[in-house]
Chains A and B, each alone.
Chain A
Amino acid sequence: MVTGMAKKPDLLPGTLDMLILKTLTRTPLHGYGIALSIKRFSDDVLTVEEGSLYPALQRLLLQGWVKAEWKMTETNRRARFYTLTAAGRRQLGIEASQFEQMIAAIGRVMSDTQEA
């Protein structure tokens, strides 16, 4: 299997969908915008293999969590903009709380190990 370029830490598996949903809560964005936004907000720590956004976006579309429409960008080029739907917002809530629980749990385990 050919694997991606892994210079930086990989995303935690399963978090890409959540990140996309979260990014879209601020404003509708096209794929490139989403990738850029994730990169900026994470201070360049989280880089997705940019292409892998697209299968994920198709998945979200199919689930009905995002909507897509073709619009013009500021530079006057046609791009597909993704908007969060109500269902997507609900899903984001679920995923975020699950994620927080997991992070908290991991944190507890890690801190415990250090004290011992």
Chain B
Amino acid sequence: MNPIARFVKKVSILFGGGRFANELDEEMTFHRAQVEEELIVGGMMPEAARYAAMRQFGNATKLREQSHEVVSLRGETVVQDLRFALRQWTKNPGFALTAILILAMGTGVSVAIFGFVDAALLQQLPYASPERLMSVNESNRESPRWPLSFPDYLDWQRLNKSFSSLDVYSGSGYLLRTPSGAVPVQGERVSGGFFQTLSVRPMLGRDFYPGEDRPGGPNVVILSYGAWLHRFGTRGDLVGQTVDLDNEAYTIIGVLPRAFSFAPSGNAEFWVPLNKFSPHEKMRTFYNFWGIGRLRDGVTAQAAGSEVATIAKQLQQQYAITGRARSASVVPLSEIITGDVRPILLGLLGGAGLLLLIACVNVASLVLVRSESRRREIAVRGALGASPARLVRQFVTEGLLLALTGSLASVVVGSGLMKLLAHLVPKDMAANMPFLEGVGLNAHTGAFAAALALIASLLVATTPALRLSFQKVRDGLADGDRGAASRFWRRLGANLVVVELAIAVVLLAGAGLLGQSLYRLLHVPLGFDPNHLATVKVMAPDSVYKDDEQTVGLYREIVHRISILPGVESAGISSMLPVQCNCNTDAIQIQGRPFQNEHNEVDERHISPEYLPTLNATLVRGRFFTGADDGSRPGVAVINQVLARTFFPTEDPVGQRIADDEGGRPSVWEIVGVVDDVREGPLDVDTPPAEYFPISQTRGHYFSLVVRTRQEAGALLPVLVGTLHQIDPDLGVSDEATMSDQIEATQAALLHRSSAWLVGGFATMALVLGVVGLYGVIAYSVSQRTREIGVRMALGAQRSSVYKLVMRQAGWLTGTGLAIGLVCSVGASLLIRNLLFGVQAWDAVTLCCVALLLGLASMAASFLPARRAASVNPTDALRAE
């Protein structure tokens, strides 16, 4: 008979109801009846004949099963097994639920973190052949990636042979005139081929025409999809209309597609061609433009890098540019976009992986204990004729069902977590992480989840099967579960628990170190008091505040009007808020000292006289600025302690003079005071030298207002905005926030906080799982040894020695787990040392605390079973079974 006919027959038997079984039974019964009759005829007693017939026939159940197997489809027993497995669950819902929950959590967390890793590190950028897109910039010894000056860019573009196109972009802000007043908006100035290099075409309208990016080119602008959507209500006839940016009319020529994003520009809404330059932007030493290039076919990033490095050196010689030796940096654009989050994501993925491992180990040991408690059942089924293969299949089916249900649940958990975590990323940061859009369930995360499900299934399904094949059925029937067979499980279970505890230690140590890093980070000396400070960014339109007198007048007016508001102690102005960025730097020389081309880079801030006192910064020497330090007087400067130590280690800096190029003009500033270091840059970076100039001597149209309040600073923010608009409705006012919120929202704080919380969460779960695992092993071992303990006590053992017996076992397991874990955690912490701040990977305090915590938790977990063991009544224990 051919296979198809055989299959049809099998199916017809399967769906023939009980007919097959009934017929088989009838046939067998007939057979036995015939034998019986014959024996009776031969003179045997009926009773004896019946037994003899049965003996002669053999094990009917087993034979029936064998017959079934012959005609059964493979799937049929699977269905039976599944049904049996489900019955097992309903009989013992606690076990199934626990195992599924643990699996779902462990796998779900891993899937979620992998979703981010995939979106950030594995998925390609949304441009054509993104692997050929490079971030192309200058570099020098101190800064691996340094922007280009515009003249340098033009020369690089002309001289290089590695790139099919090379473009630059530079962030900028505009004041957009709207019916409800001026609104500051983010823009990006780009060279003409920028979108072509990215291979992005506007969704509506057109790209820039060649030549539109030459000086004197037309005022045209391409809108981002977001701007089109939110500011212009997706008007179809928008192309060709004009918008008012900084009091100039710009013609809208296009709208970018929805999927377009360019992470370095964040949420830039207005894209204009680079055709207007400030005087210093024309200088070869004013570095304000970031480059991107598309590699020609067959050119590697390295080759391109060395080519442009040569060009950079040539240009430096040709134009006799002093300072640090120039080189070039050519790195994949993807690296720029995701470089910051890579170590964090990989660290988190590692943590999630460990958690998953613990979860699997935990479920495996749960399944083991369960199979142990079913030894009798297995033995009985074996004796009734179930073949070992059939028994193993039953357990495999149960394990698979468990693992699959857990994995399905984990997909739900994972996608939920992904949404939650993506949602937790603050908007400002999310704008620079366009890959967050790609986080979610997709082919990659799906495949990853499937792979995890497969591993979990294998683990959960094979553990008890392995266990079964080591065991003789007869042992299971023969005695009440002591002896050699259970030693196997005891040893395996114990080893698993050691693994769990060790992993828990690693995660706890990681969480401890990250937590300490976060604490240290949030407690670095700021040099000022961040509480009760309200801040807001202000942009004054160039067209209104044309001359210095008007601009300085505006500063005075703002400070005056804000200072007299109720609840305000003082107010000051700075070109840049502290704790944000060590940008806006200046190259300085000390007057009267020989200058050997060294590059002395310092942070440069322009401040009003009230600014440093408003921050509660500490004056170390000399004086702060006064209202008299204005444009009519010689330049003055306040420096920070680092600058004083760096450049005036032995002398008194007050009275010395700093020379620099201020706005393209050589300028000299006399140092009048030294302030204790105010942290201008990010929390996790050492404070560099900093200089402060009076804003009324430098001027600028973009600045921040800092206000010290008597009460909670947040309450004052709307009043600040209102007052500024009263002063001039055309002022662009944005980013109002308290100083504390500003600091909390900085990248350094967020990254450290998120990693500390996430790893902390992992560690908590790991601790719970590990300790529960330990409890399980000890409790199981105590229940196995009840009889032995009873004998010991009957022979005179003290309760205390029973305690000791149990606790010694727990202590040994915990100790081993701790020792292995501590060693591993030093290694693991070294891997995440990039994420650590102010604490070493082998920080003894953290490790001791972890050891103490885990030790205490473990002792508590094993104390319960120990007490149960010690309260065993010897008579009962001996009589049991």
Which of A20-28, A55-63, A99-107, A108-116 touches B?
A: A55-63
> Do residues A62 and B58 form an inter-chain contact, with CB atoms below 8 A?
no
The answer to whether the Cβ of A52 comes within 8 Å of any Cβ in the partner chain is: yes
Bound-state Cα–Cα, A54 to B44, Å? 26
Main secondary structure of the interface of B (DSSP, over half): helix
> Do residues B70 and A51 form an inter-chain contact, with CB atoms below 8 A?
no
Q: How many residues of B contact A (CB 8 A)?
A: 35
B contact residues around A1 at 8 Å (CB): 382, 387-388, 473
B contact residues around A89 at 8 Å (CB): none
CB distance from A40 to the nearest CB of B (A): 13
Docked complex: A37-59 residues within 8 A CB-CB of B: 49-52, 54-55, 58-59
User: B28 is contacted by which of A4, A5, A51, A63 (Cβ under 8 Å)?
Assistant: A51
The answer to whether the Cβ of B55 comes within 8 Å of any Cβ in the partner chain is: yes
> Do residues A80 and B27 form an inter-chain contact, with CB atoms below 8 A?
yes
Contacts A55-B66, A58-B70 given; indicate if A64 touches B31 (C-beta within 8 A): no
> Do residues A32 and B30 form an inter-chain contact, with CB atoms below 8 A?
yes
Contacts A50-B56, A62-B10, A80-B23 given; indicate if A35 touches B31 (C-beta within 8 A): yes
Bound-state Cα–Cα, A52 to B23, Å? 16
A contact residues around B385 at 8 Å (CB): 2
> Do residues B1 and A54 form an inter-chain contact, with CB atoms below 8 A?
no
Contacts A1-B473, A62-B1, A64-B1 given; indicate if A51 touches B26 (C-beta within 8 A): no
CB distance from B538 to the nearest CB of A (A): 88
A contact residues around B56 at 8 Å (CB): 50
The answer to whether the Cβ of B4 comes within 8 Å of any Cβ in the partner chain is: no
Contacts A55-B63, A55-B66 given; indicate if A62 touches B71 (C-beta within 8 A): yes
CB distance from B64 to the nearest CB of A (A): 8
Bound-state Cα–Cα, A1 to B62, Å? 11
CB distance from A14 to the nearest CB of B (A): 15
The answer to whether the Cβ of B798 comes within 8 Å of any Cβ in the partner chain is: no
B contact residues around A30 at 8 Å (CB): 27, 30-31
CB distance from B147 to the nearest CB of A (A): 79
The answer to whether the Cβ of B84 comes within 8 Å of any Cβ in the partner chain is: no
The answer to whether the Cβ of B585 comes within 8 Å of any Cβ in the partner chain is: no
> Which chain B residue shows the least CB distance to A79?
B30
Contacts A55-B67, A62-B6, A80-B23 given; indicate if A49 touches B58 (C-beta within 8 A): yes
> Do residues B28 and A54 form an inter-chain contact, with CB atoms below 8 A?
yes
The answer to whether the Cβ of B383 comes within 8 Å of any Cβ in the partner chain is: yes
The answer to whether the Cβ of B590 comes within 8 Å of any Cβ in the partner chain is: no
Bound-state Cα–Cα, A75 to B33, Å? 12
The answer to whether the Cβ of B34 comes within 8 Å of any Cβ in the partner chain is: yes
> Which chain A residue shows the least CB distance to B58?
A51
B contact residues around A35 at 8 Å (CB): 31
Bound-state Cα–Cα, A4 to B24, Å? 20
CB distance from B100 to the nearest CB of A (A): 34
The answer to whether the Cβ of B320 comes within 8 Å of any Cβ in the partner chain is: no
Docked complex: B26-64 residues within 8 A CB-CB of A: 26-28, 30-31, 33-35, 55-60, 62-64
CB distance from A81 to the nearest CB of B (A): 10
The answer to whether the Cβ of A78 comes within 8 Å of any Cβ in the partner chain is: yes
> Do residues B5 and A64 form an inter-chain contact, with CB atoms below 8 A?
yes
> Which chain B residue shows the least CB distance to A77?
B30
Bound-state Cα–Cα, A55 to B35, Å? 19
A contact residues around B313 at 8 Å (CB): none
Interface centre among A4, A5, A62, A70 (most CB of B within 10 A): A62
Docked complex: B1-19 residues within 8 A CB-CB of A: 1, 5-6, 9-10
Contact with B along A63-75 (1 / 0, CB 8 A): 1100000100000
> Do residues B9 and A50 form an inter-chain contact, with CB atoms below 8 A?
no
CB distance from B812 to the nearest CB of A (A): 38
The answer to whether the Cβ of A87 comes within 8 Å of any Cβ in the partner chain is: yes
> Do residues A54 and B27 form an inter-chain contact, with CB atoms below 8 A?
yes
Bound-state Cα–Cα, A79 to B55, Å? 21
> Which chain B residue shows the least CB distance to A4?
B58
Bound-state Cα–Cα, A76 to B9, Å? 30
Docked complex: B63-94 residues within 8 A CB-CB of A: 63-64, 66-67, 69-71
Bound-state Cα–Cα, A58 to B20, Å? 10
> Do residues B31 and A32 form an inter-chain contact, with CB atoms below 8 A?
yes
Bound-state Cα–Cα, A49 to B66, Å? 14
CB distance from B475 to the nearest CB of A (A): 13
Can you offer 17 A-B residue contacts whose CB atoms are under 8 A? A1-B473, A2-B62, A2-B383, A31-B27, A31-B31, A50-B56, A50-B58, A51-B59, A51-B60, A52-B58, A54-B27, A54-B28, A58-B71, A59-B70, A62-B1, A62-B70, A80-B27
Chain A: residues with CB nearer than 8 A to chain B?
Answer: 1-2, 4-5, 30-32, 35, 49-52, 54-55, 58-59, 62-64, 70, 77-80, 87
A-B contacts besides A54-B64, A79-B27, 17 pairs, CB < 8 Å: A1-B473, A2-B383, A30-B27, A32-B31, A32-B35, A50-B31, A50-B58, A51-B57, A51-B58, A51-B60, A54-B28, A54-B66, A58-B71, A62-B9, A63-B1, A63-B6, A64-B1
Chain B: residues with CB nearer than 8 A to chain A?
Answer: 1, 5-6, 9-10, 23-24, 26-28, 30-31, 33-35, 55-60, 62-64, 66-67, 69-71, 382-383, 385, 387-388, 473
